[in-house]
Structures are given as structure tokens and as C-alpha cells.
Amino acid sequence: MEKSSKEEESSDEDGGNLEDGEVELTSGYRGRTTHTSGEHLGQRSGPEPTGGDSCEGHTEKDSSCDPSILQSPCSSPHSSSILPPSSSSSSSSALCLTPPLPPEVELSAILTDTSLTLDVYLGGAAVVPLLWDSNPERLKKLQYLRLGSEDQTGLDSSLDVLQHLTALRSLAIRGHCFHDSRGDPLPGLVTNLPASFSSLSNLVHLDLSFNQLSFLPPSLLQLRSLSSLLLCHNHLSHLPPDVGRLSSLRFLSLLGNKLVSLPSSMGQIQALESLDVSYNNLQELPDEIGSLEQLVKLELSHNKLTQLPESMGFLRSLRELIIYSNDLRLIPPCVNNLPHLKIDARDNPLGKPPTPPPLPVAPDQTKKRIPELHLRFNQHSFCVSLAGCHVFIPGGAELVFPPGCLMKNTRLKWAWRKPERKWVCLEEHDVLLSRPLELCPHGVTFIKPVEVCVPYHRARKGSEVVVRTFDRQSWSTLCTERRKGSDSHSRRRTARLACCSVSHFSWFIVVSRPARDSCSVTAAGALLVSSCDPGIKLTFPPDSTVQTRSITLQVLQVSVQDVRDLCGDPEARVSPLLCLTQNPSLHFLEQVKVQIPLPSGVTGHTVDLSCLHLFHGDPAAQTWADVTSQVSLCVTHLYAVFYVTHFSWYWLWYTTQRCVSGVVRKVYQKLKQFRVRFLVLQRKTDPSQVLLQCLPDTLVDNRVQSLSQKYDGPQPSDLCDLLEGEQFFAGFERGLDVTTDRPDCIEGRLCFVFYSAMNNLKEVYICAAQGHKGSVRGQVSFYRGDVPAEFPEEVSRRRKGPDKQWLTTLPLRLPARNSENTFIIEENQYPPLNLGDPETGYLTEANLLSISLQIGHDWRVIGIHLGLSYAELDRIQYKNRDNLEALVLDMLFLWAQRRGGPGGVARLVAAMIESGRTDVAEEIQDIVDIGKRKYCESLRKVGLEAESSAHRETQQEATPTLSTDS
């Protein structure tokens, strides 16, 4: 009891500092203190006890506040007491509850005739057994009880008493009512309820939130009058099958548990009006949930639901459905048809197709030890054994044959093909990113899938990369995974690979196309949202189709400036171009709602509807029709909405001029044309190697600048107009021949096929015609090929000149051959140079040449110590990447020309010492000493040694001496 007395004394001291109208509440022996206005805590309103009513001079032994005994009115003025209306009442007695209640708080602040609130005091649950021992009859009349569940001892004692409080109508035993010293909430400790809990037959409201229930206590199912049950933030992983016995429930909250399913008996709770099972792990709902005819609000957010049961269409009373943050791709039409229903479906992949299964993981070569086979350019066949093989094809392609993919050892073949029409199948706005790779024999069947990886060029931003193959009847698109190639197969840089798993061999190409969004539409309807622009949506109403259809949506962004330049209207604006396809291609039974953003700079408040036009494109006929008057075009603030019954291309235009279909057709065709220029460049280190390239006009300058360090050549050609898929040729004329051993050489010319990627890059070796020994001047001519048969007649008619029209002719020069029939390459010439001065010694050009032979691969470190920048060293390395001697000389002469003058030799010696090349520094010092000795001898001969001695000493001090430790 010594502890209680000390706490009372501490309370007396603290209480004297309180302001009027405040009572300090101290959480008993736990040491927690809060200040709260007295009117909220039921502070005493009667007169304060006088001195005669207090027990002065009492001792701890005879007047201690034992929680288990009743005290007389003669108690401490700060102790808890039940005070009668008048101080003379003798029928009321006071109970001291310090602890577990703070000494400043009266019992009347927490206890009334029908309610007892103990969840505002830490450890307050221990009050219940004390009150039961002192006045059980009064406690039996309680109807509302609130307990904290953070104290295990007090909680267990309270649960034992609860069976006697049969008049209870509302009971709350919650955790997280209090916090520890670090500010973390204290968890509730309820893990079960005693069997005697079923005696609370009048209980209507029960709150057991923030506890540790892992199952629903059986005694709770006996409470047939229960209408509100809160079990939030427990550890429930399942509900009992007979949970339907709680037939009077109107409100049930299971938020924040671990439920993976709901029992079918939930449908028996016919009175349920609000159900909250959010923040669980539910993957599906029982069909019986449709029996809850009185349900008004259903919260299912933050689960793992993939579909909603059709039975939810019977929930006619449902007003609010919260299903955000799930994996729902379709909302059943029966749910959409519910009257007065408000749905929150955020963060769901609505309208998107199911996520395809991941590609098989490439075999781990280190674990399975699949042998590697690196082929050469002249090796066009290889053998695969039963153990499998990882084949590296020249050009960057890789083939992975897993063990057991073949029944016997098999010889296979490969070949790179030219991008001709018979090898390539492209759709509208597709871009070819690779050469066709042919793998033979065609049709060979593998027991296990074989991984084919084709290298490709960089794709446009916002597009997707896929591999296409030919199955002898049609081209098909394969499930593609992009990754980097093996480092062991890359000589310069790691290749980009498009990988797919195949079961047979054929032709393979890599194509870039506008990103595709697809979904399956059933009779129930669907919603498809573009991944490129969330503002583009397709809404398929119920009964719009009988059979299931596959829908594909592509969005092509169009530059507004290009449209303005082509149509001549400075006010023209366009929306993205929509490409809609379906399979099967049949008209929809109900109109499909299409939402598309308004053209940039146009809003619903400022738009002039007379200038807004919707165009329908026919890709087969290459025509565009104005269908604005044929559809119901609605404009919101940001979007335009219209309804269609069949799919094709749709394009929204805003223009102040008279807009006709011919203008749109002209613009669309122009967008598929490219203004290009041609380059012919010779490699400086090997003039017989020539680079041929076709580039867009906007990229020519940057490309020429980047190649200037490696290549020389004439100016680029003039502008030329080319269409996607158009062929052109490069031929060598006037005595120049293309090496005949190249597989892409046909009758002395190289063939290109132009695609919008513009990666038409060829490096070929050329030589003078046989018999020519001197320098040869010639030219490279570019000219068009035949017009592809698939091109529209009107496009072909617009071309000027014959089909074999010359595009450009660029001159080319080869150096002369020497006696060994090799090209004579001019040596690098350096100007005469004297570094230093006669008094301190000097280095000549011959000296630097001899020194450069000893520097070798340390040239970069020495250059840094000489003060050259990293950029200068990189340029030197790039220019002389194949010639180490020229590289070192360039570095030395660049520094010498910049430094020059007195002191240069000392700086060079110091740089050699700092770079760890003391041997070179010693040789330089020897050359300098010889020069100084010769200079002194010449002075002595002419009698000038005395007057220059002081100057020589000064210069000698400036020259660094070599240390043997270096």
C-alpha cells in the first residue's frame, strides 16, 4: 500500500496547479496523464467537502484506499467517490477505485444508471470486478458498457463478470484506445469469448475491433438479437459455416482481416443492410450473396476479386457498391442495371484482356550446362544433339534448344534474307525493325519449345515490339519478350533481342506497331480503355453482340504541325487517330459508345461545332468520309462522344476552312511519305569500306557530325520523297565494283527497301575495277525500283518521272594501289617542332617520335597529367582507334603545340614521373642533359659562359630531378 500513498501525494501536488474548470486525469499506476475539460468528465458539481468531513491525520495503515473495500464519506478530498445529492445522505457509500481509476476522477464521471465507460482510462477494465463486488444490483441494470482490452488481467476479470450483466444492449471491447511511450497504439488482447457470453441475450450492438480474434467465438453465434457487429482489424481468416444463425444482423463490418472467402450461409442473414469486407484477401463472392434483398451498402475494396457473381443482379435495394482496388475486368450488366446504384470502381483493369502467362524462363546455361555454339558468317548449318544447344548466329541472333527438344541429332540451317515483300508482311503503321531470319527446314516440330531471339533496331516511343512468323499460309504474331543479348556474343555493344518460343521453324521478323489494347466482348457488354490515353474509351452495352467478339484498339498520335503544313490551315487541329478492328467483322446489334479527346487547344466551352468534323476511314479503299452528320456527336468539356455500329478508322478534325474528304485523304497519304537524303561516306582508316545510308532530312546534320571522326565523304544528297515500303537501289558506276563475295550484292548493285524506321544502313567494301593501279574516281547512284503492287493507283500517279528515276548521284574517290595491290593511305604529318629552349635543353620532332614508341598503352594517364581534358583524349582515341602509334603521337603533339616555350620539358618530365613511367622520364632527362652540355660548350668557345651562369642556375632549379625511389 506504500505505492498508493505516494501516488496520492503526487496527485495532491499536481492538483494545486490546475486552472479553474479543469480536472487532471492520471491513468493510475501506468503514469499516463491527460488534461480534459471537467464538463466532459463529469466533475463534481456539488459542494466541496469541508474540513469536518475529511479525515485529517489518518495513517496509511488505518485509512488506506484498498480497492476491495468500501470507504466511509471520511476520505481524501481527491479520492473517487459516489456523492449523494446532499452530504447528509447516509444511504450512499463511497467506493475508492484508486487504482485502477485516477484519484482525481469520481465514479459518477464514468458510471450512470445505465452506462459504464471505461475505455478512456488505461487499465480501466479492472473497475468492473470491483464494482460487481461492491454493488452487483446496480451493475445488473447496465445497458451500455465500453471496455479497453489492453490489460490482460483486468480484461479476464471483466469477462467473468459479463455473464451476469444480462441487461446489456451495447458492448464495446476495443483495442487501439491507448498508446505506448513511443506513440504506437496498444493492441487489444481479446482472442476468444467465454461460453457464458451467450447469456447476453439482449445484446444488440457488439464491437470487438482491433483485437486478436483468429476465429469467430461460438458463443457469439448464440446472440440472436444482435443487429450490429464490428470485427474490424482482427486476424479472421474464415467465418464459420453457420454464421447465418445471426439472422437479426443489420450491420456487419469485417474490414481489415484475412478472409479469403465468405460462407454460403451469408445469404441467410436476410436483414443485413450494410456489409463491409474491404481490405481482405477475397478472391470470389458466393452466389448466395444475391439473397440479401435488404442490402443497401456493400464495400469490397482492396481485395483480389476477379469477377462479381451474376446473382448480385437481385440486390434491388443496393444503393452503394464500393469495389475499387480489385482485379475486376468486367462488371456484369445485371449489376449495371440495378436502379439507383452508385458504383466506385477505381483502380480496376476494366476492359483490359487477361494478363497473358509469362514466357518460359530461358534455360540457365550455368546450371544445365547447355553447350554453346558460335557460328561464323560462312557457317549456314549446324547440328543440334539431344543435350540441346545455345546457338549464336552472326548478326546477333540467338537460338536456345533445351535438352530433349529433338528425338535425334538434327542438322538445321539459317539465313538472313533481304527485306523484300515476299519475306515481309506489314500492316498499316507497322515498322520493320530487323532483317527476315529464315530457319530451316520449315515445319520441323520440336518436342519442347525452342527460343528464337532476333536482334532489332530501337523502336519508336510508345510502340510495342513483336515477332511475326509465317506458317506457310499466313503471318501471325507471337508472344514476345524483350531482353538484352549475351555479352559473349557482342563485340561492340549488347544487342536488343526480341525473343519468342516456337515449336516449328519458318521466317521470323521483328516489327514495331502502335500499342494494341484488346478485350473480349460478350452479350454482357464490356469496357475497353486505351493504355496510351485513358481518355479514349469504348463502351459496349449489353446485348450488343450474340457471339463473343475480339476487339482491338490502336491509337496513333499525329503531329498537329504536320497537319497544318500539309493542309495549309494554320488553325487546324486533330485528335489521335483511332484504329478499331474486330473479329468477326459484323455490325453490332446495339450502338457502341466511343469517347475520344477533343483536338488540342479545343474545349467544350470554346468549340465551334460547325468546325468540328468526324471522319471515317476505309483502309482497304484508302478513302475518308465525313460522317459528322450521320452520328450523334456530343461534346463535353474535354471529350467528344459518338456512337457507331461498325468499326474502322476514326479521326476528329477541327478546322476553320471548308473541310472535305479529299483533304483528309491527302494529309493521311502525306503522313506516310518521308523526305529523306542519302549519304555516301568512306572510312578514314580503310577507304575501301563505304557507308551507304538513307536518313530523314531532320536527322542528317546530326548524323554527319557524329560520323565525321570516322568517315570522309561528299555532301548529302538533295531532298527526296519516299513512301513506306518503297524500293530503291544503290549502284556503283565508272570503274567501281562491289566485292562479289558479299551476299547482298546483285549484279553490281545493292537493294534497299524503305520502311518508316529508316534503318537503311549498309557498309560495303568496294574496289577499283581490275587493271586499275592509280586513283579512281567514280560515283554512287541511287534510283527507285518498281512500284509495289499494293500501292493505290492515285499514289502511283502522283509520282513524277519514270519508275527508274534517278534520286541522286554522289561522287566517290578511291586512293591508288601500291605494289602489293593494297590502298596507299597517307601517313599522319606533324609540323616541325622544337620544345623547350637551348639553355634548358630542347626536344625536337624526332625526339618525340622516339619517346612515343615507349609510351604504349599508358598514353591516357600521361595525357591527363599533361593537362589534356577527357573530351580531348576521347576524340583522339576515337580518331585513331585502330592505330596506337598515331594515337600516342596525336596526344604528344597536341600538348606540345599548346604548351610550347620555356618550361615545357620540365612539365613533360614531371608528367612521366607522376604516371609511373620513370624510364621514359630518364630518357627525356638524358636528351635534355646532352642538349644543355652542347649549349654550354658552344658558350665556352665564344667566351660567354660567365655572364650566363646565373641564368643557367635559375633554369636548373626549375628542372625537376629524378628520384631513384620513383
Peptide bond into 441 cis (omega under 30): yes
* Residue whose grid cell is 447476453: 200
Pairwise CA distance, residues 476 & 727, whole Å: 24
DSSP tag of 820? T
Q: How buried is residue 662: exposed, middle or buried, by Cβ count under 10 Å (0-12/13-18/19+)?
A: exposed
Q: With DSSP H G I counted as helix, E B as strand and the rest as coil, what are the percentages for the chain, rounded to 5?
A: 25, 25, 50
Cα separation values, 249 from 105, 226, 275, Å:
37, 6, 10
Given a contact cutoff of 8 angstroms between Cβ atoms, the answer to whether 497 and 484 are in contact is: yes
- Which grid cell is 301? 475494396
Pairwise CA distance, residues 945 & 850, whole Å: 32
Catalytic residue among 506, 512, 530, 544: 506
Pairwise CA distance, residues 618 & 694, whole Å: 31
- Which grid cell is 548? 463473343
Within 13 A of 278's CA, how many CA atoms are on the CB side? 14
* Residue whose grid cell is 516489327: 511
Catalytic residue among 504, 520, 661, 948: 504
- Which grid cell is 729? 537501289
At 676, is the secondary structure helix, strand, or coil?
strand
Given a contact cutoff of 8 angstroms between Cβ atoms, the answer to whether 386 and 436 are in contact is: no
What's the CA angle centered on 755, arms 750 and 758, to 5 degrees?
A: 80
- Spatial neighbors of 669 by CB under 8 A, at least 6 apart, are 622, 795
- Spatial neighbors of 933 by CB under 8 A, at least 6 apart, are none
Q: How buried is residue 857: exposed, middle or buried, by Cβ count under 10 Å (0-12/13-18/19+)?
A: exposed
Given a contact cutoff of 8 angstroms between Cβ atoms, the answer to whether 592 and 604 are in contact is: no
Pairwise CA distance, residues 964 & 966, whole Å: 5
648 catalytically annotated: yes
Given a contact cutoff of 8 angstroms between Cβ atoms, the answer to whether 187 and 159 are in contact is: no
Report how far apart the first and last C-alpha atoms of the chain are (Å, whole number): 84
Catalytic residue among 35, 40, 442, 646: 646
* β-bridge pairing 297-299 and 22-26: unpaired
Amino acid identity of 367? K
Pairwise CA distance, residues 235 & 279, whole Å: 12
Pairwise CA distance, residues 376 & 714, whole Å: 34
Task: Choose among 858, 876, 857: nearest CA to 868.
Answer: 876
Rounded to whole angstroms, the maximal C-alpha distance in the chain is 139
- Which grid cell is 241? 459455416
Neighbour-count burial for 878-891, b at 16+ CB within 10 Å, e otherwise: ebbeeeeebbbbbb
- Spatial neighbors of 147 by CB under 8 A, at least 6 apart, are 118, 119, 124, 125, 128, 155, 158, 171, 172, 173, 174
For 839-908, the three-class secondary structure string (H helix, E strand, C coil) is CCEEEEHHHHHHHHHHHHHHHHHHHHHCCCCHHHHHHHHHHCCCCHHHHHHHHHHHHHHHHCCCCHHHHH
Task: Choose among 788, 786, 787, 738: nearest CA to 762.
Answer: 738
Pairwise CA distance, residues 944 & 935, whole Å: 11
504 catalytically annotated: yes
Catalytic residue among 518, 648, 688, 948: 648
> What residues are annotated to the active site?
504, 506, 646, 648
